[in-house]
Structures are given as C-alpha cells and as structure tokens.
C-alpha cells in the first residue's frame, strides 16, 4: 500500500544558508544531444559530479541542494549528459568526483559487476564495449547506498545510455529519464514520501516540457525509470505500442507478435520501456503516472514549505483560486507531461444522432466531510442502475461498440468534479482534463456543483475500461467516484451469468475494497461453463496488487488471457497458464476461466504476493 507516513522533521540541509545561496543552478536536460567525442570506433566521455541548487518549481521559487552530473566546466544537468552510440562502439568514460563524499557510479557498462568507486576529489575511468542495442541508464549514489535506497542529494544522479541498433533513428523521439527524491523523514529517520518529488527529465508538472506533434506522426518514447518508485504510466485517449522492456543494464526488444497495445504500462524501479504512439485525433493529451500521489502538487522548499497538516489538506481540498477549471495546471504536479496535437484545417467535432444516458453523482455529500459519497448511478438504460456500493464503485456503465452516445454528467454533489473515461478513444474536449483538453474555441471544463455537462463518445472497440474522477482525486476517489465501463459488441446483451467484473478501489479509513467489500458473497458457477473475469485496479495508492485465482487447498488454478486495457490480445498472446496477474492502477485484464469439475475457489486480491486485501469466494456446482 502506498501511504504517506507521518512527518517528524524535514531533512537537514547540509550547507549553511550563505553557502547554499552560492551554489550554481542545476539546469534541465531533455536528452536532445549526446555527450562526448567519437574517433576510431571509441566514444570518449568526461563527466564530473558537483553540488548545485535545483529549482524544480521554477527558477523564481526556492530550491534545494542536489548533486548532479556535468561535463567538465559545463552546466550541471538533471538528468546527466546522455551517452548515445551505435552498437559495437567502445566507451571510454571518466568521472571526476568534485564533492566531499565518496560516490559509486554504476551502469556505464553492460556488466553489472562494473562500477566506479570514486573518492572525493578523485577521478575514475571505465572502458567497455556496447554489444546490445537498447536503452539503459547510468547512476551514482553515496557509498553504501544500493539502487533505490538514495539519500536526498544523490537521488537524481542518473543519465541515459542509448545504444542504437542497425538502421535509421526514429525521426521523432523523446527520451525521458524518471527520477524521484524524498525531502522529509519519519520518526525513525527513514525517508518519507510525504514530501516526495517525481520528475521527467528534471522537471515536475506543470514545468515539464510541453510537446507538440501532428496527426499521423509516429512518436517513439524511451522511458528510463531511474527512480526508487513504481510508476504505472498512462496515456490519455489512445493506445501505445510497447516494443521493448528492460532493466538498467539491458533491453529485451520484442518480436512483432510479442508487442502489445496498452493505455497503461507498469514500471518498477530500475526498468525501461520503449513505446510508439501515433496520434489520430487532435487535442491536448496527458501522459502521467497513475499513482495518485505521484501527480499531487509538488512540495515547496524554503519559504514555500508546508507542514504535514497543510500538505494533507491541500491533497484533499485543493485550492485553485476558486476556479476548478485550473485544477490540472494548479492542482497537479509530479510525473506528468502534455502533448498537443493541433487540428487539421477544417476539422470539426462530429455531429450525429446519439443514444442518451445520464451519469448522476449523488448529492448526499457533506461539505468538509472527511469521506463524502460520490458513487454515481446510471440512468437511461431502460432502468436506473444504482451504485454498487455507497462508497464505490459506482454503477457499471454499459456502452456499445460503434454506437454514438451522449452521457449527461449530472453533479448533485457539493463540490465540482471532472470525469476521465480511462482507456476510451474519444475527443479531447470530453477526456476530463479540465482547462487543458479541448478543441479550438472550447476548453474542457469542470462539472460545477449542481450543474451538468454533456460528454460525447463513440466507442471503437468492445472491452473493459474505467471511469473515474480527474479532479480532487485523493478525496473523490476515496468517496467512490469510480467504476467499470464495459463496451459490448454490436447487438450483444450483458451476460451477467457468465461475465463478471471485479474492480479494486480505495476507501479512506477502510483501505482497498473489491466491488466495495473486503469479502464478497459467494459467486456460484456451473462446472464446464465458460466465464469471463474482468479485473480492474483503480485504487489511489496500491500499484502492486496481484489477483490470484486459487482452489480450496490454495493451489493456483489456470485461466486464459483474453485482453489488456480493453484491447483483445492477438492469438500469439492468448496463453493459458497459472491464474496470477499483477494489475496496477489504471490497468484492466480480461481472462477466460473454465472450472471442469465442482469445487471451491477464491479470487484473491493481494498486496504483493502474500497480504490478502480482498476476496471473492467462488463455488462451482455440478451441471
């Protein structure tokens, strides 16, 4: 469970104020150019590590001391200078340690045993040859720190290493190094995530570089998770194709039949991802970590620092100068960036006849209540569908593939909201990114208290998706403003006997719940019948959930993979195997399960592999 720990004290700054003021400013580095000089098959790179002042909230705001890489005499950079070579190139790298602490540098070589231990004032040298194409990163820590156990000042000491294979480079490419740091400790002296900062290429949102690309462009993203944190990476409004995954030392490049189309991909510390996206609709599209606390407002430093109580209040009651439409720009931070795709000349929103539904957020919330109820009901399906549970999930939203639909979001709550239709390919105006998404002449806006807003969509594929709040997420998710969104094939009706949805959410003070409960009533199935299990995680802070389907004796059963994030898997990936599946925040998975004989089973949601947080008993009867 990802949960802020109690704040006892801020980490002491290691320098006196006058010395801190004299530190050079650390610059941002977008990995547009590589370092070093190339001759006779060898790239020679000289690096040094120095202390500087990092201003993550803008150069006009107070900063914090940090160690950073630079080329000799050059500007300190976060992340460090990029090393980029063709496969087969020899590397000759020197690193000078201009700090007063010994440092260990790793990742310059493909060999995990290769590292440099560099004493204060000394210079280390490493020579190696690149033999594998792919993405990795180098990083440095204080001596005694393993990867992931950073102190504050060495937390962002990382840089990209890109080894190009044969063939031309992608014409449009973004290389993003993810790093994170904690700026507080708990009562035991351990690093706390209360004042944590997660960044792309040295910048947190809203200071991340705004990207701009055209419809039809093929964009290649190389993500390097050099942080100590897990990150379920989500792209709004579209699928991206994952072509490679790797570690800090090597990539695994997927064969064409092993590539996958997803809207959310989970990255653990020290891993890399190579993916491709081609925008097919105009708008402003977000890419961000789906761990709610990793896109929370950034911590301040110096005069901008907040107490623990002020930080928690800001999370649950964000202030946007009384304008909720400024939430994305003013009420979010951390690991997020925006990609603008301008409309072609003459582009207009589609106008067609539509099926009409009403998405009704209840009005029994109490202003200032620690846990208000936001779980919505759905109207317009022939009968009103109430929320599954008062604290969430809301009612299942059923849509039909290729059917133009109008959803009237009616907000009876006492505060504004915005709904994100997670995984749905729709127009930017309706994506739920208030104040930022939209079309020419129209910006996406929040649904004010007592107001309503029409959302238009035409689902292009059948599958399992999610709706959830995208405003005041910590507060409204814990109050149940989330639910399953199921798109049925044309002409199909929902088969509640053989089709089952399991959605994990978080309730403040109660923890993770499966369909609103810790333990659900037994589900009765018939031996020999085919069932579809739709598994969802939309918790606010539980990225390491695993679903297990086990027999009465706790042995693991078998199931067959059908879909990921609403996208049907190709035949080569529809494998039958052990029924264990990690499902991180913002992910959905569909499996086929057939119990051949009568017996008892349990669908368990576990934090990690052991701690059971919710259970669905399953009883299989004889036909």
**DSSP letter for each residue of 389-400:** STTS----EEEE
Of residues 7 and 211, which shows the higher confidence score? 211
CA pair distance 224, 175, nearest whole angstrom:
8
Instruction: Place 380 in a pLDDT band, splitting at 50, 70 and 90.
Output: confident
Residue 191: per-residue pLDDT: 65
Instruction: Please give the torsion angle defined by the CA atoms of residues 252, 255, 261 and 263, in that order, rounded to the nearest 10 degrees.
Output: 10
Give burial (CB, 10 Å; 0-12/13-18/19+) of 564: buried
Residues 98 and 151 in one domain: yes
- Residue-wise pLDDT for 403-457, tens only, equals 999 999 999 998 899 999 999 999 999 999 999 988 878 899 999 999 999 999 9
**Residue 571: predicted pLDDT:** 94
Domain of residue 28, residue span = 9-172
Q: What does the pLDDT average to over 172-176? A: 96
| 135 shares its domain with 243 | no
CB burial string 488-514: b at 16+ within 10 A, e below: beeeeeeeeeebbbbbbbbbbeebbbb
Of 47, 18, 82, nearest to 224 (Cα)?
Answer: 82
pLDDT confidence of residue 251: 87
d(CA 466, CA 474): 17
**Residue 321 tokens, joined:** 């100068």
DSSP character string of 350-383: -----EEEEEEE-S---TT-SS-----EEESSSS
Residue 184: its pLDDT value, please? 77
Give pLDDT, residue 358.
Answer: 96
Same domain, 434 and 478: yes
Per-residue pLDDT tens digits for 219-258: 999 999 999 999 999 999 999 999 999 987 888 899 999 9
Residue 296, CA distances (Å) to 233, 260, 348, 473, 563 in order:
15, 29, 34, 9, 30
| Mean pLDDT rounded to a whole number for the chain | 91
Residue 397's alpha-carbon distances to 54, 432, 481, 588, in angstroms, are: 45, 16, 13, 15
Compute the distance between CA of residue 505 and CA of residue 586 in angstroms, rounded to an integer.
11
Report which of 606, 617, 619 is spatially closest to residue 519, judged by C-alpha positions: 617
Chosen domain end from 172, 192, 222? 172
Q: Do 145 and 288 sit in the same domain of this protein?
A: no
> Does residue 180 form part of some domain?
no
Within a 10 A sphere around the Cβ of 245, how many other Cβ atoms?
A: 19
When pLDDT is averaged across residues 357-378 and rounded to a whole number, the result is 80
Same domain, 515 and 577: yes
Most confident of the ranges 151-155, 435-439, 551-555:
551-555
The domain boundary, picked from 143, 172, 201, lies at 172
**Paired tokens of 209:** 């570089």
CA angle 229–232–233, rounded 5-degree value = 110
Residues 6+ apart with CB under 8 A from 457: 399, 404, 405, 407, 421, 424, 426, 427, 430
User: Would 597 be classed as within a structural domain?
Assistant: yes
The reported pLDDT for the residue numbered 396 is 97
Element (H, E) at 485: strand 482-488
- On whether residue 200 sits in a domain, the answer given is no
| 283, 366: one domain | no
> Do 403 and 456 form a contact (C-beta atoms < 8 A)?
no
**CATH code, domain with 448:** 2.60.40.420
Q: Is residue 247 part of a domain?
A: yes
Cβ pair 204, 298 in contact under 8 A: yes
Range name among 63-72, 210-219, 310-319, 587-596 with the lowest pLDDT average: 310-319
- Say yes or no: 161 and 270 in one domain: no
- Exposure class string for 78-109: b at 16+ Cβ within 10 A, else e: bbbbbbbbeeebebebbbbbbbebebbbbbbb
Q: Answer with the residue of higher pLDDT: 383 or 538.
A: 538
Query: Poorest-confidence range of 90-94, 189-193, 295-299, 418-422?
Result: 189-193
Distance CA 170, CA 164 (A): 10
The 10s digit of each residue's pLDDT in 97-119 is 999 999 999 999 999 889 999 99
Question: In this structure, are residues 592 and 568 in contact, taking their beta carbons and an 8 Å threshold?
Answer: no
User: Six-digit token pair at 491?
Assistant: 């002409």
pTM confidence score: 0.93
Contact status, residue 395 vs residue 361, Cβ threshold 8 Å: no
Asked if 335 and 426 sit in the same domain, the reply is: no
Strands 545-551 and 27-28: unpaired
If asked whether residues 466 and 513 sit together in one domain, one would say: no
Whether residues 545 and 464 share a domain: the answer is no
Judgement on whether residues 512 and 486 belong to the same structural domain of the protein: no
Count up the domains in the chain and report the number. Answer: 4
């Amino acid at each position: 469970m990802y949960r802020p720990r109690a704040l006892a004290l801020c980490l002491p700054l290691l320098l006196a104020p006058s010395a801190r003021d004299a530190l050079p400013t650390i610059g941002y580095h977008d990995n547009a150019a590589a370092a070093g000089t190339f001759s006779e098959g060898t790239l020679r790179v000289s690096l040094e590590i120095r202390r500087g002042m990092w201003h993550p909230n803008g150069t006009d705001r107070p900063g914090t001391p940090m160690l950073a890489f630079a080329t000799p005499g050059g500007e300190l950079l976060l992340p460090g200078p990029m090393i980029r070579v063709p496969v087969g190139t020899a590397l000759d790298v020197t690193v000078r340690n201009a700090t007063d602490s010994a440092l260990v540098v790793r990742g310059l070589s493909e060999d995990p045993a290769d590292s440099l231990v560099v004493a204060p004032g000394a210079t280390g040298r490493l020579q190696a040859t690149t033999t594998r194409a792919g993405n990795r990163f180098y990083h440095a820590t204080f001596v005694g720190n393993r990867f992931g156990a950073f102190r504050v000042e060495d937390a962002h000491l990382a840089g990209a290493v890109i080894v190009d294979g044969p063939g031309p480079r992608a014409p449009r490419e973004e290389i993003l190094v993810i790093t994170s740091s904690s700026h507080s400790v708990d009562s035991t002296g351990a690093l706390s995530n209360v004042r944590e900062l997660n960044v792309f290429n040295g910048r947190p949102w809203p200071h991340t570089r705004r990207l701009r690309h055209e419809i039809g462009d093929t964009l290649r993203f190389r993500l390097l998770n050099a942080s100590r944190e897990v990150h379920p990476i989500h792209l709004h409004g579209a699928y991206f194709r994952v072509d490679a995954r790797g570690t800090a030392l090597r990539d695994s490049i997927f064969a064409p039949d092993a590539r996958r189309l997803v809207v959310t991909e989970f990255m653990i510390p020290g891993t890399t991802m190579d993916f491709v996206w081609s925008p097919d609709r105009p708008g402003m599209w977000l890419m961000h970590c789906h761990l709610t606390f990793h896109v929370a407002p950034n911590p301040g430093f110096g005069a901008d620092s907040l107490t623990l109580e002020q930080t928690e209040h800001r999370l649950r009651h964000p202030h946007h100068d009384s304008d909720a439409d400024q939430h994305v720009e003013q009420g979010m931070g951390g690991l997020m960036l925006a990609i603008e795709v301008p409309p072609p000349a003459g582009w207009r929103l589609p106008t067609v006849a539509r099926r009409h539904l009403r998405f009704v957020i209840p009005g029994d919330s109490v202003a200032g209540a620690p846990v208000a109820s936001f779980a919505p009901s759905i109207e317009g399906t022939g009968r009103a569908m109430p929320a599954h549970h008062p604290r969430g999930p809301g009612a299942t939203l059923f849509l039909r593939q290729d059917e133009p639909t109008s959803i009237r979001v009616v907000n009876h709550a006492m505060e504004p909201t915005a709904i994100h239709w997670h995984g749905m390919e729709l127009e930017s105006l309706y994506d739920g990114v208030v104040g930022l998404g939209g079309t020419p002449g129209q910006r996406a806006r929040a649904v004010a208290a007592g107001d309503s807003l029409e959302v238009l969509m035409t689902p292009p594929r059948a599958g399992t998706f999610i709706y959830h709040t995208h405003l005041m997420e910590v507060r409204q998710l814990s109050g149940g403003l989330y639910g399953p969104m199921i798109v049925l094939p044309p002409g199909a009706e929902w088969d509640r006997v053989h089709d089952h949805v399991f959605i994990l959410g978080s309730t403040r003070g109660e923890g993770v719940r499966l369909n609103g409960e810790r333990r659900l009533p037994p589900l009765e199935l018939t031996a020999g019948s085919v069932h579809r299990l739709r598994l969802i995680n939309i918790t606010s802070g539980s990225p390491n959930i695993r679903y297990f389907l086990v027999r009465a004796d706790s042995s693991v059963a078998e199931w067959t993979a059908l879909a990921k994030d609403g996208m049907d898997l190709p035949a080569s990936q529809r494998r039958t195997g052990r029924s264990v599946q990690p499902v991180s925040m913002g992910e959905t998975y569909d499996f086929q399960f057939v119990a051949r004989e009568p017996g008892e089973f349990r669908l368990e949601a576990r934090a990690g592999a052991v701690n059971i947080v919710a259970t669905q008993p399953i009883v299989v009867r004889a036909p």
